[in-house]
Amino acid sequence: MATETHEATGHGAAEAADVGMPQLDFTTYGNQIFWLVVTLVVIFFVLSRIALPRIAAVLAERQGTITNDLAAAEDLKVKAVEAEDAYNKALADARVEAQNIVNATKAEIKGQIDDAIAKADADISAKAAEGEKKIAEIRAGALESVKVVAKDTAKEIVAAMGGKADAKSVTAAITARMKG
Amino acid sequence: MATEAHGAEDKGLELVFHPMDQFIVKPLFGDGGVGTFTITNVTLWMAITVLAIVALLVLGTSGRNTVPSRIQSIAELAYGFIRKMVEDVAGKDALPYFPYIMTLFIFIVFSNFLGLLPGAFTTTSHIAVTAVMAMAVFLAVTILGFVKNGFGFLSVFWISSAPLPLRPILALIEVISYFVRPVSHSIRLAGNMMAGHAVIKVFAAFAPMVLIGWIGVLVTPLSIIAITAIYALEVLVAFIQAYVFTILTCVYLKDALHPHH
Amino acid sequence: MEGDIVQMGAYIGAGLACTGMGGAAVGVGHVVGNFLSGALRNPSAAGGQTATMFIGIAFSEALGIFSFLVALLLMFAV
């Protein structure tokens, strides 16, 4: 058909003249099939001998690397968790320790305070006893003085009234009075 | 087509429609016929395909880096993509056949993409090429099925989950569809490649319209936009067809390894 | 004259064969559309079924390619 067009218009391209459908030109089949088989065999050997094993090796190696890296990461993670645990434990220990120290100090201070209080109490009671003793002495001293003053006063009063005062009887009388 | 050419005749210029010319197999050197061992444009573009594959999968991975370079990661991506496809679709016991499937995929995908270069020859657009690959897959799968399962392989046609009266009819349909497999398998790829490239060529033939008449002011930009759009579609198709060819190979392989539905 | 009529028939046949490609387009659209509506209902299961979708597309598209092939054969080979 193409042939007819070209003949009619007078612009015939000679090389295109015998074209129907090139795919149905059986004379070229042998050539195509031969070169196709050659090509496929070459490609197959290139692939199966060189390319595919190489790519498989690279992929396997990468898989290995990734697995190793993941394992390493897992290890590190475990270590990190352990470190955190240790840290927490140390923290808790330190807290307990601090609590203990606080308690101990508190107890000690309390003991000291108690001691001081006890000592102060003792001092105070000693001082109070001493004071009472002094008071008692003073009171005793005062009684004695009163006795002496009363004797003297009684003697003087008796003398002044003109009598002769017997020291012994005055003393006895005053003692009886003061007892009464 | 003829009408267009005639209409433009009186202007001294014409639109030239040769959408199929790009598929002609011709000798690279000299003008002789195409014999079996002649070095043709098929040879050239298959050789370029091989070189591109070597560049990607061998030179690209020569660093063997644990952290891949760009080219190496593309190679690894292709490897992982096909390997996963084989494993998912055909099962784990299909992995020994992975290099064969990888060969098919990488050849088709590179041929398709290289064919998209302007002026290139698309080897996968020829039924001869795709039919050889499809027949190879078909024969390999059939033989493998009989070797692995003996005559138990025939149970692939006997659908035991269907009601008993239906089974003979289904078996007939299954047998027919089994033998149509290589046909559709090869024509799908070749047809897609051929169709896309031919459509691009047809639009390209409209592009010089601006030299012929005033209507070309409209037609030329439209055809260039259309070429761009179809080209983008073809980039997608180039990959999807390689993917489909490969995944169907995996499906057929699964039937051979596990014929019981 | 007879050749012209034969050629005309071939061209008309090629054009009619191309309608089959429209059918394939409908089929592919149907496959992808249904896949998408299913995938949006259950996105977690969608990933594993992409391969199945492509197989479905391939099967329905193959028939369109067949009609395209018939058209090409009528145009160039008959």
Least confident of B11-15, B74-78, C21-25, C44-48: B11-15
> C61 vs chain B: nearest CA distance in angstroms?
8
**C interface residues, B as partner, C-beta within 8 Å:** 48, 51, 54-55, 57-59, 61-62, 65-66, 68-69, 72, 76
Least confident of B1-15, B139-153, C60-74: B1-15
> A46 vs chain C: nearest CA distance in angstroms?
28
CA B203/CA B157 separation, integer angstroms: 45
Q: Is B248 on the interface with C (CB under 8 A)?
A: yes
Residue A174: CB partners within 8 Å, gap ≥ 6?
A147, A150, A151, A154
The chain C residue lying nearest A3, using CA atoms, is C76
Least confident of A4-8, B123-127, B245-249: A4-8
Which chains neighbour B (Cβ–Cβ under 8 Å, 3 or more pairs)?
Answer: A, C
- Chain B from 103 to 142: CB within 8 A of any A CB: 103-104, 106-107, 123, 125-129, 132-133
In this prediction, residue B9 has a pLDDT band, given cuts at 50, 70 and 90, of very low
CA B186/CA C55 separation, integer angstroms: 15
How many distinct structural domains can be found in chain B?
1
Residue B50 has what pLDDT? 95
In this prediction, residue C40 has a pLDDT band, given cuts at 50, 70 and 90, of very high
Cα-based angle C13, C18, C22 (whole degrees, multiple of 5): 145
Could C77 and A20 be called an inter-chain contact, meaning their C-beta atoms sit closer than 8 Å? Answer: yes
Q: Hey, of C4, C61, C63, C75, which one would you mutate to test binding to chain B, going by the most B CBs within 10 A of its CB? A: C61
Whether C65 and B195 have beta carbons less than 8 Å apart is answered as: yes
Query: At residue B40, what are phi and psi to the nearest 5 degrees?
Result: -115, 180
Q: B230 lies in a domain? A: yes
- Which residues in C lie closer than 8 A to residue A19 (C-beta atoms)? 76
Over residues B67-74, mean pLDDT: 88
Could B240 and C54 be called an inter-chain contact, meaning their C-beta atoms sit closer than 8 Å? Answer: yes
Which amino acid, B224?
A: I
- Which residues in B lie closer than 8 A to residue A17 (C-beta atoms)? none
Q: Parse chain A into domains and list their residue ranges.
A: 25-56
Over residues B82-93, mean pLDDT: 91
- One digit per residue, the tens of pLDDT, for chain A of length 180 reads 444 433 333 333 333 444 577 888 888 899 999 999 999 999 999 999 999 999 999 999 989 999 999 999 999 999 999 999 999 999 999 999 999 999 999 999 999 999 999 999 999 999 999 999 999 999 888 888 888 888 888 888 888 887 776 777 777 877 787 776
User: What are the helix (H) ranges across A46-180?
Assistant: 52-160, 167-179
- Chain B from 1 to 30: CB within 8 A of any C CB: 20
- Which residues in A lie closer than 8 A to residue C77 (C-beta atoms)? 20-21, 24
In this prediction, residue B5 has a pLDDT band, given cuts at 50, 70 and 90, of very low
Q: Domains in chain C, please, with CATH?
A: 2-77 (1.20.20.10)
Whether B128 and A33 have beta carbons less than 8 Å apart is answered as: yes
Q: What is the mean pLDDT of chain B?
A: 87
Over residues B222-242, mean pLDDT: 93
- Residue-wise pLDDT for B182-214, tens only, equals 988 898 899 889 888 988 998 898 888 888 888
Residue A170 has what pLDDT? 75
Could B54 and A46 be called an inter-chain contact, meaning their C-beta atoms sit closer than 8 Å? Answer: yes
Place of tokens 């070797």: B147
Over residues C48-63, mean pLDDT: 84
More confident residue, B160 or B56: B56
Residue A12 has what pLDDT? 35
| Domain boundaries, position B170 | 3-29+40-257
Which structure tokens are listed for A60?
């396997």
ipTM: 0.87
Residue A24 has what pLDDT? 81
Q: B34 lies in a domain? A: no
Residue B142 has what pLDDT? 93
CA A55/CA B62 separation, integer angstroms: 9
Place of tokens 């459509």: B199
Could A20 and C7 be called an inter-chain contact, meaning their C-beta atoms sit closer than 8 Å? Answer: no
Over residues B4-13, mean pLDDT: 47
The chain C residue lying nearest A24, using CA atoms, is C77
- Which residues in A lie closer than 8 A to residue C7 (C-beta atoms)? 1
- Chain A from 63 to 102: CB within 8 A of any B CB: 65
Distances (CA, A) of B49 to A40, B114, B250: 10, 7, 23
The chain B residue lying nearest C57, using CA atoms, is B244
- Which residues in C lie closer than 8 A to residue B251 (C-beta atoms)? 55
pTM of the predicted structure, to 2 decimals: 0.74
Residue B261 has what pLDDT? 62
Residue B2 has what pLDDT? 43
